Structure 1
């Protein structure tokens, strides 16, 4: 009998699987210890330590006020550093964040199984019968356990796990029937998500559009528009203090960070390849950029990238397509982590591509089991993120929050496939 055919088996109990996930993350954190091998980790920690020391948000090298790194994660680290200087505490907190992600994804899966409260998308009663327990709930945690990138990143001081938790919480709020309080809280969380990972700023309009569309489907009146405005206002309210700080200290309009220009240049220059990233040699540009202020350097890098795209339109289009395809690759060559083992590459490939295949299978089932509005939204977000990432450059860790969002969709496909198999089996024995 399959381990997913009964709730009595520990490996089908979501609570047992979540405990296993937490222990696995804690074990990896203990094994890696306080090592910070990546440059980004050390810079985030340095910003947090400067904040705690009362120096302000300053660059560790230049000792000048900066907005190069987004502030969301350093502010969180600063609060933890106030408790203890050890980096093990924020890493351990990542394990709790990962646990929260598991709980949030399980909640999303439950809501997808129940369906919307609108006539257009009824619930899926055949997937919720007492005779056929909801395999999807266990599958959700299993798919999270089979996410080596997420589990490994939880042992680092990267903001992706914290950002993933914020994103999952936002969607858990948006999937509920529209309510003023939930909408406001979703906006506040999303605003802090943008301060943590600025690329989510480009996806915010899609969240607002989904909220408006969901409300108009349920009850088409002024309330759906008002809730959308409230969500947008809450997002901007969280961002506003930081944007104002940048205006006052850097004398420029900087919504979140000043690294957009250099990231655009990393992804669009004469030396850029479809799989290159922050390790690209752009020293010729940096020689000029280092002589400029942070704001002027950001503008210089951005204009240099735009000029290259205008001068090489065909090459830029080919490069964009290559970067878009590379977004779905299972490996990145990084100069910061040395040689990546073959086992780690295989682990990512053997877990990522089955996740995509399950999502494609869910699309194949859409006529028999109509897609929930949130499933459509998640799939649209995933494709849009690939399109936006290819404008700059692609990295596996940038993809983590969106990979995790696919898990509930894949879990529903797993549930449907299991149910169909059980039904055929029962018909044979009848």
Structure 2
């Protein structure tokens, strides 16, 4: 679009500069440079705000004393897509914390099952058996002051994973009993076998145990000796699980809830249950995604192997065709070479016959030799391939090759070669016939 000086002046005083910049795809500084180069005044700061509020504003008139060379400006309107025209809405709300939401939901329904009792009331078979097993292990030690007699009898072989001191066994079992009760309230379950204790949450397994942190014995003479560490009185609830994130294989993870300076493990039962439920959903989703990746990877590998097999088959076929082509060409060249050599023999025989006629040499032995040579040419010719009683024993290509010159090894061999070279040969020295 070509605008005159007056048209550009009317334009910048009819719309804000920011609107014009978006309309023509130009920066505010670039539009102001065009106006400045043609001595066009622009609205001052606050002009459009005052105009919008109904206040009186002064419009600067276009100067008539402009003497510059630039009288026109070219501006191109740009088309805005629907996406660009749509306003971008920014959500300033904080991200949702699933852990906190689920904890609030659990606390709003039934709080009693998440409260750890101050005194252990062993009604759960697993709790009873774990306590009995702990007592029996203590009876075998030298200093046993814990439960000399117990009314409970062990019903099952496997017990809960609890690794604490004698002082905290009741507290640890109370926490475990509450966790089991909370899991069953949420329609989950618990499993105990030789490998360990597992919480079954939404079809996923979490290995759980309670341990007591150990610290260095302050009375120890060697501060670096960790073999004689003592129990610190701080309990830990450990949750081990397997994740399937990324392209890697299964990875093991551990989440620990523990006593701190201001909190106790008993106050974190809701957090433990909420964590396992949320993590179970995440693990299930990760497993499905991992399975989809595995299937896709196997499909890609199958396609790749198929392409490799096709490529190997093509290369094998190409190599076989090459060998067949080479063998065919070698056979062609061998037969052509035989024909070429047979024709050389025939040409030589004709020359020999012409030589005998020109010199009026009539020798019966010579005629026999020439007839013999014609038979040998027919024997070598691939189109005739006449049988030969003596030469059929040899390879036609090998015996038709020219002999290699043997190196002179000694003075005696040189003399013998010279003597043998002077012997008469019908085919090598036809001029001897003329002498005779």
Q: Same fold (TM over 0.5)?
A: no
Q: Which has the higher contact order (CA 8 A, sep 6+)?
A: 1
- Place the TM-score, normalised by the shorter chain, in its bin: under 0.3
Give 1 or 2: higher helix fraction.
1
Give 1 or 2: higher strand fraction.
2
With the length of structure 1 as denominator, give the TM-score of the two structures. 0.21
Q: Which has the larger radius of gyration?
A: 2
With the length of structure 2 as denominator, give the TM-score of the two structures. 0.21
